[in-house]
């Protein structure tokens, strides 16, 4: 069955445009309450759903709509306020709740918002549960009898609980004393959490992006715009800079020389650190967009590596199938499966800081072990679905792959959100990579014109 509303990471869109509208979200809350309150429980005991959000101005509106729908379905609600997405996953487990809901559009601008769910186990929902929620969306809302209505309360110490969890992911007596760093919280959900975690571990912390006003989330800051962070790291002579995104499930670093360190490089550093300290890395799951240099670096470490579809849910599925503990995306979604159940920017940042201190090397030195291959990406506009199995397209791909001779790769991928085909080529020679990418783009464009 094809899902009508749920994408790879919940439901997302522009505020006020269906389905990211108050009426839909009200019904979505009711549908979720029915599924988690009736369908997925025995009907006995406490029924509870947590709601967290990032700092978008529309979050208050959608929080109220979700709350009303869930309560109408006869399920209690615990309101967490602004909290990182991974914190909601963690607190859903510790509260023994039936589900957790996050109101966020992650790294998108404030005009967008979305709803994503976690199950009682802290993992994102399987397809069958999303289908069940969509089935209830086709029904009329019915309100429970007054005696059976849910109740709502705010969790006063949610941030403190998550701060303690993050610190507890490191060994006892681990200290960041003497480490000078800059953290950019993107004016998002980590603004009141990440600086506290780092300071309580002993670091000297300079803060950026910690004054959310409802509309400045991800605006010229955070992991999608690290320029300001780079300037601050160099100006302050900091050891590293840490850039989180609006909901705290992504992280990127800036080293002391001002170089950006992306998700692929962070995965390599964590995997190598674990190998070096006797904690064998069973395998790493990347995506179709992971740099070929990561694949080569994992082979050199003797660590199995696979690629999944783009999206952290697919990375996590692959990790769980193989009982692996590490995976992520180039964008900075890093999943440490032995620590938590979803991508967590703060937890991943702490793992990198641990690797730096244990190795005695700088971040600049650690990332040198992975040779990130040059990459060229061209977005080819299309008006119709392009047949990428067309003989002209496949012949061009085969020719490019033969030219790369095993020292690079080619990827053609239709976008899931835009009318474009992404043409990506990686290889050791940047000039060759650019030439091949433009040739392939021309072939794809010609194939699109024939559709």
Q: What is the mean pLDDT of residues 202-229?
A: 98
106, 273, 290, 330: the active-site residue:
106
Fold of 162-369: Alpha-D-Glucose-1,6-Bisphosphate; Chain A, domain 3 (3.40.120)
The pLDDT score that the predictor gives to residue 77 is 98
Q: What is the pLDDT of residues 122-136, one digit of tens each?
A: 999 999 999 999 999
Transcribe 380-449 into DSSP letters.
Answer: EE-SS---TT-HHHHHHHHHHHHHHTTSEEEEEEE-SSSSEEEEEEEES-HHHHHHHHHHHHHHHHHHHH
Q: List the 284-287 sheet strands across, edge first.
A: 305-308, 284-287, 326-328, 334-336
In the chain, list all ranges with CATH 3.40.120.10.
11-156, 162-369
For 42, list phi and psi in degrees, rounded to 5: -80, -10
Strands 152-154 and 76-82: parallel
Strands 99-103 and 48-53: parallel
Q: Is the pLDDT of residue 24 over 80?
A: yes
The pLDDT score that the predictor gives to residue 27 is 98
> In this structure, how many other beta carbons lie within 10 angstroms of the beta carbon of residue 260?
17
Q: Give me the chain's average pLDDT, please.
A: 95
Cα gap 316→167, rounded to integer Å: 23
Report if pTM > 0.85.
yes
Q: Is the pLDDT of residue 279 over 80?
A: no
The pLDDT score that the predictor gives to residue 39 is 63
Banded model confidence at residue 418, pLDDT cuts 50, 70, 90: confident
Q: Is the pLDDT of residue 42 over 60?
A: no
The pLDDT score that the predictor gives to residue 448 is 86
The hierarchical CATH code for the domain 375-450 is 3.30.310.50
Q: What is the pLDDT of residues 132-161, one digit of tens each?
A: 999 999 999 999 999 999 999 999 999 999
Q: Is-catalytic flag, 21?
A: no
In the chain, list all ranges with CATH 3.30.310.50.
375-450
The hierarchical CATH code for the domain 11-156 is 3.40.120.10
Q: Is the dihedral of CA 398, 400, 403, 405 positive or negative?
A: negative
């Amino acid at each position: 069955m094809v899902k009508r509303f749920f994408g790879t990471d919940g439901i997302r869109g522009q505020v006020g445009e269906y389905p990211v509208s108050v009426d839909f979200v009200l019904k979505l809350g009711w549908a979720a309450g029915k599924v988690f309150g009736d369908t997925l429980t025995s009907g006995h005991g406490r029924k509870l759903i947590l709601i967290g959000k990032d700092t978008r101005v529309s979050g208050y509106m959608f929080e109220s709509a979700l709350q009303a729908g869930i309560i109408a379905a006869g399920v209690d609600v615990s309101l967490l306020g602004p909290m990182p997405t991974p914190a909601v996953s963690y607190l859903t487990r510790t509260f023994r709740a039936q589900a957790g809901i996050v109101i966020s559009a992650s790294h998108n601008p404030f005009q967008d918002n979305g709803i994503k769910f976690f199950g009682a186990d802290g993992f994102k929902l399987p397809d069958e549960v999303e289908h069940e929620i969509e089935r209830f969306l086709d029904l009329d809302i019915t309100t429970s009898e007054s005696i059976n209505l849910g109740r709502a309360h705010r969790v006063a110490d949610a941030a403190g609980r998550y701060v303690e969890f993050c610190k507890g992911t490191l060994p006892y007596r681990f200290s960041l004393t003497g480490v000078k760093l800059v953290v950019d919280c993107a004016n998002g959900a980590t603004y009141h959490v990440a600086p506290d975690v780092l300071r309580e571990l002993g670091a000297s912390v300079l803060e950026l992006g910690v004054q959310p006003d409802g509309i400045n989330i991800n605006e010229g800051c955070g992991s999608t715009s690290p320029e300001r962070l780079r300037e601050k790291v160099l100006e302050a002579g900091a050891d590293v800079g840490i850039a989180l995104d609006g909901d705290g499930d992504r992280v990127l670093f800036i080293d002391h020389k001002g170089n950006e360190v992306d998700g692929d490089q962070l995965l390599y550093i964590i995997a190598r650190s674990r190998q070096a300290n006797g904690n064998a890395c069973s395998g790493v799951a990347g995506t179709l967009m992971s740099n070929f240099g990561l694949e080569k670096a994992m082979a050199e470490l003797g660590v199995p590596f696979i690629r999944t579809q783009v999206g952290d849910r697919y990375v996590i599925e692959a990790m769980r199938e193989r009982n692996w503990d590490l995976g992520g995306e180039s964008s900075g979604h890093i999943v440490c499966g032995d620590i938590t159940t979803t991508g967590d920017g703060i937890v991943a940042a702490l793992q990198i800081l641990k690797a730096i201190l244990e190795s005695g090397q700088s971040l600049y030195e650690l990332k040198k072990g992975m040779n990130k291959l040059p990459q060229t990406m061209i977005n080819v506009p299309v008006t119709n679905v392009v047949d990428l199995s067309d003989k002209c397209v496949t012949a061009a791909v085969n020719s490019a792959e033969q030219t790369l001779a095993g020292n690079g790769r080619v990827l053609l991928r239709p976008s899931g959100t835009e009318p474009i085909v992404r043409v990506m080529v990686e290889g050791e020679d940047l000039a060759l990579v650019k030439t091949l990418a433009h040739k392939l783009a021309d072939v794809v464009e010609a194939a699109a014109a024939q559709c």
